[in-house]
Amino acid sequence: MADRETMIQTEIVFDGASFLLSQDQDVDDLRERIESATRSSGTFVDLVVVGNRAVSVLITPNTQVTISVASVAYDPRDTGDVDFPYSGYHDEL
Protein backbone atom coordinates (compact mmCIF):
# COMPACT_ATOMS: atom_id res chain seq x y z
CA MET A 1 0.00 0.00 0.00
CA ALA A 2 1.47 3.35 -1.07
CA ASP A 3 1.93 6.12 1.47
CA ARG A 4 -0.49 8.98 1.00
CA GLU A 5 0.78 12.53 1.22
CA THR A 6 -0.71 14.39 4.19
CA MET A 7 -0.84 17.90 5.56
CA ILE A 8 -1.72 19.42 8.89
CA GLN A 9 -5.21 20.93 9.01
CA THR A 10 -6.15 23.40 11.73
CA GLU A 11 -9.77 23.91 12.75
CA ILE A 12 -10.77 27.00 14.67
CA VAL A 13 -14.19 27.41 16.27
CA PHE A 14 -15.56 30.83 17.21
CA ASP A 15 -18.67 30.61 19.41
CA GLY A 16 -19.68 27.36 17.70
CA ALA A 17 -18.91 28.47 14.11
CA SER A 18 -16.21 26.17 12.70
CA PHE A 19 -13.58 27.14 10.11
CA LEU A 20 -10.70 25.15 8.64
CA LEU A 21 -7.65 27.36 8.21
CA SER A 22 -5.76 27.44 4.92
CA GLN A 23 -2.25 26.05 4.94
CA ASP A 24 -0.50 29.42 4.88
CA GLN A 25 -2.05 30.65 8.15
CA ASP A 26 0.40 31.26 10.98
CA VAL A 27 -1.51 29.76 13.91
CA ASP A 28 0.80 31.27 16.54
CA ASP A 29 0.29 34.74 15.06
CA LEU A 30 -3.47 34.18 14.84
CA ARG A 31 -3.57 33.13 18.51
CA GLU A 32 -1.71 36.31 19.48
CA ARG A 33 -4.11 38.46 17.45
CA ILE A 34 -7.13 36.77 19.04
CA GLU A 35 -5.68 37.15 22.53
CA SER A 36 -4.95 40.81 21.84
CA ALA A 37 -8.48 41.37 20.49
CA THR A 38 -10.02 40.00 23.69
CA ARG A 39 -8.44 42.91 25.57
CA SER A 40 -10.67 45.35 23.65
CA SER A 41 -14.43 45.78 23.62
CA GLY A 42 -14.46 44.22 20.13
CA THR A 43 -12.01 43.90 17.26
CA PHE A 44 -12.19 42.09 13.93
CA VAL A 45 -9.53 39.45 13.30
CA ASP A 46 -8.88 38.45 9.67
CA LEU A 47 -7.96 34.93 8.54
CA VAL A 48 -8.01 32.79 5.40
CA VAL A 49 -9.88 29.49 5.43
CA VAL A 50 -9.88 26.37 3.25
CA GLY A 51 -11.28 27.34 -0.12
CA ASN A 52 -9.00 30.39 -0.12
CA ARG A 53 -11.77 32.54 1.37
CA ALA A 54 -11.07 35.59 3.51
CA VAL A 55 -13.02 35.68 6.79
CA SER A 56 -13.24 38.42 9.43
CA VAL A 57 -14.39 37.43 12.91
CA LEU A 58 -15.45 39.93 15.57
CA ILE A 59 -13.60 38.99 18.75
CA THR A 60 -14.81 40.28 22.12
CA PRO A 61 -13.79 39.42 25.68
CA ASN A 62 -16.69 36.92 25.68
CA THR A 63 -15.83 35.09 22.44
CA GLN A 64 -15.14 31.39 22.94
CA VAL A 65 -12.36 30.08 20.69
CA THR A 66 -11.13 26.50 20.24
CA ILE A 67 -8.19 25.48 18.02
CA SER A 68 -7.56 21.85 17.04
CA VAL A 69 -5.08 20.19 14.68
CA ALA A 70 -5.36 17.00 12.60
CA SER A 71 -3.41 15.23 9.85
CA VAL A 72 -5.46 14.96 6.64
CA ALA A 73 -4.96 14.01 2.98
CA TYR A 74 -2.93 16.60 1.06
CA ASP A 75 -4.94 19.06 -1.05
CA PRO A 76 -2.74 21.05 -3.47
CA ARG A 77 -5.51 23.66 -3.97
CA ASP A 78 -5.24 24.80 -0.33
CA THR A 79 -2.80 27.66 -0.93
CA GLY A 80 -4.47 30.48 1.00
CA ASP A 81 -4.55 32.66 -2.12
CA VAL A 82 -7.84 34.57 -1.84
CA ASP A 83 -7.60 35.60 -5.50
CA PHE A 84 -8.11 31.92 -6.45
CA PRO A 85 -10.95 30.49 -4.32
CA TYR A 86 -11.95 26.93 -5.06
CA SER A 87 -14.91 25.87 -2.92
CA GLY A 88 -18.64 26.41 -2.87
CA TYR A 89 -20.11 28.95 -5.24
CA HIS A 90 -16.62 30.08 -6.31
CA ASP A 91 -16.20 26.90 -8.40
CA GLU A 92 -18.88 28.15 -10.77
CA LEU A 93 -17.35 31.58 -11.43
Q: Is residue 49 domain-resident?
A: yes
Query: Is 55 a member of any domain?
Result: yes
- Report if residue 1 sits inside a domain: no
The more confidently predicted of residues 80 and 67 is 67
**Cα–Cα distance measured from residue 77 to residue 6, given in angstroms and rounded to the nearest whole number:** 13
The verdict on residue 86 lying in a domain is: no
Q: Please give the pLDDT value at position 87.
A: 64
Number of structural domains in the chain: 1
For residues 6-10, give the mean pLDDT: 90
| Structural domain range at position 31 | 6-79
**Rounded to whole angstroms, how far apart are CA atoms 50 and 60?**
24
Q: How far apart are the C-alpha atoms of 17 and 9, rounded to whole Å? A: 16
Instruction: Kindly report the pTM of this predicted structure.
Output: 0.78
**Interval 29-72: pLDDT, tens:** 999 999 999 999 999 999 999 888 999 999 999 999 999 999 98
β-pair type (17-20, 53-59): unpaired
